[in-house]
Structure 1
Amino acid sequence: MEKKTKLRSLLLGAFFTLLFLGLVSRMYWVQVVEASWLREKAGEVWSKSEVLAAKRGEIVDRNGRTLAEEAVAYTVSVNPELINAKKTSSKSKNSEQLDWDIARGLAAILTMSSDPAEIAELEKKIYGLATKKKSDGSGYLVDVEIKPEGWKIDGETKKKIDAFITELQLKTDSKGNLGINTKETQKRYYPSNRLASHILGYLDKEGKAVGGIESTFDEMLRGKNGTLEHERDARGVELPNSKVTVNPAENGKTVRLTIDQNIQYYVETALKTSYDKWKPKSMTAIAVDPQTMEILAMANAPDFNPNKYWEFGSQSDFINHAVASQYEPGSTFKVVTLAGAVQEGLFNPNDKFPSGKIYVGGRELHDHETRGWGTITYMEGLLRSSNVAFVKLGFEKLGPKLLTDYIMNFGFGKKTGIALPNETKGIVNMKYDSEYGTATYGQGQVLTTLLQQTAAYAAIANGGKLLEPHIVKDIVDSQTGEVIQTFDPKVVREVVSPETAQQTALYLEQVVANQDIGTGRRAYINDYRVAGKTGTANIVIPGKGYSPNTWVITFVGFAPVENPRLLVAVLADQPDLKGNYHYGGEVAAPVFKDIVQQSLRYMNVRSSSGNTATKTETNVESIATVPDVTGQTIAEATKKLKQTGLKPEVLGEGGKVLKQSPAPGTEVAMSQRIVLVTQEAQGMQIPDLTGVSLREAMEICGQLEIQCKANGEGYVVSQAEGEANGGKVVTFELKPLAEPKNEADEKKESDGKKASDGKKAAESDKGEDGNNENSSAEDSQKSGSSEGGTEAKR
């Protein structure tokens, strides 16, 4: 018995000894071995961390005007626990359906659709959120957000919800919170709504950047969130004198664009007017400074409102066609062939060729006027936008290799590098002779973006340099205002010499200035010299070839020619021309004209006539509408013009007016002379043009089909005739209006004026009898602007 007792005591002692040793070991393990890990875990429990949200940076225009910013918004949530409590505890019978009343009321306010079926679905969704329980089913949740419909709503929508809550409180005879909450937060706000929407892109309700600058510069705009950490007890109450750690947020940077909000407005307004009239599939316009290739405006129609990006007509509304769509450019592409031929010394404006049609690689290529205009000069071919002329220049004279080199050097077939998403590179893929032939006038295996064409024309306007287009001017620290990154103009390469660029610009000016046969005459602007080119290309129908009655209409031009400050490109994709391509000239060119007129005056650019337009004044000079005097005698025409307040400039020895410039119906300043041509241009002598503006001198040269060159800027002080490439060339020396003339210049101008006045008086005294052979100016305009044909237009 005693032995058993001792054994039991021994075992019990051993057990407690082992238990003690285990407890000591565990204490050692916890307090020493795992101490740091446990302290870290305890710190996580005690410590409460809050996110300090970074403020997204602003997007502003070149003058600092806000285009995108952060603004106060609200997020709607419901409290199922409180809703259920109100529903069960209220004595009012109207509270029995509180959850459904809340669902119906909020759905009516937050819906993004007018479809009753979709509204009913939203009601069910909100009802489910208003009655949502915890995952273990033990009770109701206390805060459930309604998303995405209730995320980041604006102040106006919040007011509607507040009014609904008040109405519901009266209905249920309840006071206080009914279980509907609105929490203040931040949202992206675009103060100008639709303005520059394709440039900006948008931020969706989940904070994702979609399209435009928002997407490209998302990382810089977003910034970095910070944190705020402090200690708390088990109940979540902050401990007194606890350690507080702050990692401040780093707000996003401000992105300053090159665009000008005012010019952007001019572009969008002109674009919308034409879009509403002609109802194309889409329209696009780009305005740039050709000296730097800074984008001053870029717009598309239709567009969208980034504040309400969910409201749109079609997904295609979000496409920035300026960079993401490619087209057969048509005759605007002829600038490449023309510049290459001038650079290589192959373009003689006085040489002649048979127009109408030409065979290349066994394929017939023809002009938009399929019968042609007979044998004409290359200058007339340019003015009429003859495809045959450019096939001969590009395919026969330059040759396929050199033509391809110029196309590639002008930047086609590769991306421009602009800081916008989804840019396409276009296509340059000629293999056969006929494909090289059609490429000379912008059809076939050549597809371009409007931005590529803009950059190519800018190379002509700025003296021969292809520049990389850019739309961001600099990045600014939003807190200090310090510029931390700039984007300067970048020269890609010199594509032609400055002399070639200047001469090409003068040729393109005559396309606009020649009011008789110039295809770009509808872009004519009274105050400024304009150079430009029209384009009309048939649309390809997959599997069927070219459509005979659907076109892409384009106009690209710049002004003033003597010192280009603005270049504008306009494209209309499949406008409704009622099957008549003659109307093509009325689509894009007038849009160009509206944009350039307003923008140059806003930019305070001196007009080509020497007057300075201002931002607050338009044209203070009296305006008159040119009457139609074609077919009238000199005396009749002079009398009619003087009655309108206009001065005639008679060219030739004939007795009747054969042609006039500007065309009838054009609005001009009272100081501008109206050129009256009285005999066929061939063999006519150019009059003394001393004292007239270069613009008027170029118009007269265009009427007489004489090649002209200019040295200097301002007004003609002297002129000299010479021969070049077998034809007559007139060179004008120019000086600014304010520059004092020497005595010889003054005497020459005085003598010239006397001689001119005497000539006009003699012509005015010629007999007034004879037949009145009025010709239709409207018919003449239509004939000059037509660009039809199976494949290519002007």
Structure 2
Amino acid sequence: MKNPYKLRVTLLLVACMLVSGAILTKAAMVQIASNPRLAQMARRQFQSKVLIRPRRGTVLDRHGEPLAINAEISSIAANPAKLVNKRNLARLLSKAIDLPYAKTLQRLQEKREFIWIKRHLTEAELTRLRKWHIIDTDGDLVEGLWIVRESKRVYPHKELAAHILGDVNIDLEGLEGIELRMDERLRGKVVSVSAVRDAFGRPTFIDAEAAKDVQDGEPVQLTIDASLQFAIEQELRTAVERAQARSGSVIVMDAVNGDILAMANEPSFNPNLKGTPADKRRNRTVTDGYEPGSTFKAVLLASALSKGMKLTDVIWGERGTFTVQGKRISEAESHEKFEWLSLKKLLMVSSNVASAKLALKIGADHYYDTLRAFGFGSKTDVGFPGEISGRIPPKKAWQPLTLANIGFGQGVLVTRMQMLRAYAAFANGGWLVKPRLFILPEPAKPEPPKRLLSQKVADQVTEALESVTSKDGTGGKAALEGFRVAGKTGTAQMVDPHTGAYSRSKYIASFIGFPVGTDRKVVILTSIEEPRGIYYGSETAAPLFRESLNAVAVRLGLPAEPAEIDTRRVLAAEKSSAPAVQDQLDLNQAKPIPAATAPAHLTWNSSSSEGQSVWRMPSLAGLTAREAIRVLQGHRFKLEIQGSGIVQSQEPIQGSLLSENDSVRLVLAEPQ
């Protein structure tokens, strides 16, 4: 009889051999035979597409000063599938990088191969990651975690020109301001390339040939002068605080070529910090409309003069009150009982009644055409996102009361940029120029200036505006010693959004003007919104204009004793029967910053670990104190000046590195 156990063992061995053969056959098929499904799984596990982001272009001021740059920063990412002990890791991460534990654990438990844990880590957070041994002494991380090096947008001057620059999101996409307007140029070309991933899911090898197609963003150069911008922002901040106002704005523009040299708003913000309320980020100079009030009377005067009237023509002031279509128009102050006023004096004393009567005398057709020719009701196309066009009522809707109100600046909606451009025409001899914010990229087809007023009319309006800043005018506090100043105050009531009527407690005070007789034609607008206490433009915006003009004079080197040639030209034009019209605007008047300041300038070197900008010190030897201050303006250095004359020695010396709040000592002596 056969042994049953031997038979069972034999059958078991045969079964094992069959199973082993099947396994080997299947393995051979997997290894040798083609299997599309498995091949796809392998590709998905070890191959991927990676987006390579280019470096974002820098934003520079007119002299090459960096206003927006890039800095390398660390972020932490993970492959949740490779992580172990996720609860303990979530607890350590939440302590190290200040994240809620529950949210961190939820992220670590996601069924994905890549997640961001936190973008843009600070040095303090990296230090804590090392302290909690998430990063070891060799720089390696816990399995499944890795550090990703990214670019971060940095604004080295912090609040400087913040409303112009705007900001970006965490992926370096423009959100506001120039960052949004020029996003396509700044961001460059993103390329998707093939990459091989390691066991942790991290990209290791990429398609180098395809990566060559990445194009870094191109730079954008603004017309802004960073040093002047800094000085203007300081003056604006002081004025807003003094007036206890809600907000304020200042614009400085070259009246000949339209270059915006400074554009400031208060309150401001630091674009390096996220979460600033929208009200602080808004560039009020182009996005907000307002009723211009008495500053509009200069446009009314230009319209009257271009129709053939003269500065000596007179209007009866009605002793303070005037009724149109049953509505009473009165002067700003009840004690103002004007009688006969010349057109020049109308502007000097800022009569509402005389302005209303002058508008009625000019007529709706001519005055409407004047406003449209000045560009009111249309965007200036300065190149800033969010600019509004303002509003001029349709001419067919103009009633006598409409015309009278617009005569003294009510019933129209304008922007500060539109008003500045209008006054530039008075400063440059009658030309309407397009405001310009960009040097790079250059416009494909520059828009030439348009003849708006004759030279004679522009000079006559300027003469009347000069009387405003005399001791008898409303703008005396705008006058700056050593300069002839032309300009106009404005105090406009704001509309109460709840009642739809003019508020008796909210005003916009403004002043627009320019120095007369200087080689460099510059026009400045200042406005203070909702000042408390004394709210008149003559008491709030006019002093701010004076300080702004002083900053411009220091930075641009405007002479304190203007030439007499402009006065002679005005007198000659008044005596001439034919208007003194230039054939073209002399762009040579748009002069650059004086050459004396050009050789010496600070150059940006790097950013410190605390986020402070680091600059390389130039040589200031041979410069006057004023010229040295021009070079250092725009930075928060502690400046100490000893002696008088020209710079003989300096600390730090040329080539040294210095950060914001560092001390700079200059020793001056008279030249031998």
Normalised to the residue count of structure 2, the TM-score between the two structures is 0.72
The unaligned stretches of length 5 or more in structure 1 are 1-29, 88-96, 111-121, 136-140, 476-484, 611-692, 695-708, 714-718, 726-794
- The CA deviation at 1:489 is 5.6
**1:530 touches 1:561 (CA, 8 Å); kept in 2?**
no
User: Is this contact kept in 1: 2:517–2:562, CA < 8 A?
Assistant: no
- Tell me what 2:404 maps to: 437
2:239 corresponds to 1:259 = no
Residue correspondence of structure 1 range 364-513 to structure 2 within 5 A: 364-378=328-342, 379-396=344-361, 398-429=362-393, 431-444=398-411, 446-475=412-441, 485-486=442-443, 490-491=447-448, 493-512=450-469
Letter in 2 for 1:493: K
Report whether the alignment pairs 1:123 with 2:76. no
Kept in 1, the 8 Å contact 2:59–2:219? The answer is yes
The CA deviation string for residues 621-677 of structure 1, in whole angstroms up to 9 with x for no partner, is: xxxxxxxxxxxxxxxxxxxxxxxxxxxxxxxxxxxxxxxxxxxxxxxxxxxxxxxxx
**SS of equivalent to 2:233:** helix
Equivalent pair of 1:303/1:317 in contact (CA under 8 Å): yes
| Deviation for aligned residue 1:182 | 3.4
Equivalence map 1:474-553=2 (5 Å): 474-475=440-441, 485-486=442-443, 490-491=447-448, 493-512=450-469, 514-515=470-471, 517-542=472-497, 543=499, 545-553=501-509
8 Å Cα contact 1:293-1:489 kept in structure 2: no
Aligned residue in 2 for 1:62: 62
AA aligned to 1:337 is L
**1:74–1:185 Cα contact (<8 Å) kept:** yes
Residue 592 in 1 paired to residue 592 in 2?
A: no
Q: What residue in structure 1 maps to residue 6 of structure 2?
A: none
**Change in CA separation of 1:263 and 1:206 when aligned onto 2, cut-off 3 Å:** same
Q: Give the Cα–Cα distance (whole angstroms) in 2 for the partners of residues 539 and 334 of structure 1.
A: 18
Per-residue CA distance 1:253-286 (angstroms, 9 max, x = gap):
1111111101111211111111122222221111
Structure 2: tracts of 5 or more residues without a match: 1-32, 578-672
Q: 1:506 to 1:188 in 2, by over 3 A?
A: same
Contact 2:195 2:203 (8 Å CA) reproduced: yes
Q: For residue 558 of structure 2, what is the aligned residue in structure 1?
A: 605
CA contact (8 A) 2:524 2:549 kept: yes
For the pair shown, which has the larger CA radius of gyration, 1 or 2?
A: 1
Equivalent in the alignment of 1:304? 269
- 1:609 CA displacement: 4.5
Q: Tell me, what secondary structure is at the counterpart of 1:447?
A: coil
Answer whether contact 1:258 1:470 (CA < 8 A) is retained: yes
List aligned pairs for 1:738-753, cutoff 5 A.
Answer: none
Q: 2: distance between equivalents of 1:284 and 1:254?
A: 27
**What CA deviation, in whole Å up to 9, does each residue of 1:492-548 have, x standing for no partner?**
532211111111111101111x11x21111110112211100000111224252122
Q: Look up the match of 2:311.
A: 348
| Kept after mapping to 1: 8 A contact 2:489/2:510 | yes
Give me the identity figure in percent: 30
1:570 aligns with 2:536: no
Q: 1:492 to 1:426 in 2, by over 3 A?
A: farther
CA contact (8 A) 2:345 2:464 kept: no
CA distance in 2, matches of 1:270, 1:427: 31
Kept in 2: contact 1:555–1:570 (CA 8 A): yes
Deviation at 1:74, TM superposition (A): 1.6
**Preserved contact between residue 315 and residue 358 of structure 2 (Cα < 8 Å):** no
Give the alignment partner of residue 281 of structure 1, picking from 246, 259, 262: 246
Contact 1:465 1:494 in 2 (8 A): yes
Structure 1 distance, partners of 2:372, 2:556, is 33
* Aligned partner letter, 1:254: P
Counterparts in 2 of 1:233 and 1:432: CA distance versus 1, 3 Å: closer
Rounded to whole Å, the distance in 1 between the matches of 2:576 and 2:329 is 30
Aligned-pair CA distance for 1:48: 6.2
- Conserved? CA contact 1:566–1:596, under 8 Å: no
Inter-partner Cα distance in structure 2 for 1:49 and 1:133: 21
State the 1:225 CA deviation: 2.3
Does 2:290 correspond to 1:327? yes
- Count residues with an aligned counterpart: 537
Q: Residues 232 and 286 of structure 1: is their aligned pair in 2 closer, same or farther, counting only changes over 3 Å?
A: closer
Secondary structure at the residue paired with 1:73? strand
Number of the residue aligned with 2:94: 103
Gap change, CA 1:563 and 1:519, over 3 Å in 2: farther
Name 1:626's counterpart in structure 2: none
- CA distance 1:584–1:712, shift in 2 (3 Å): closer
CA distance in 1, matches of 2:553, 2:575: 37
SS class of match (1:469): coil
The SS at the match of 2:567 is strand
- 1:592 alignment partner AA: F
Equivalent pair of 1:468/1:489 in contact (CA under 8 Å): no
- Taking a change above 3 Å as real, the CA distance of residues 77 and 490 of structure 1, as seen in their structure-2 partners, is same
Matched, 1:134 2:119: no
2:268 is paired with a residue whose SS is coil
- Corresponding residue SS for 1:209: coil
**Deviation for aligned residue 1:459:** 1.1
Aligned to 1:163: 127
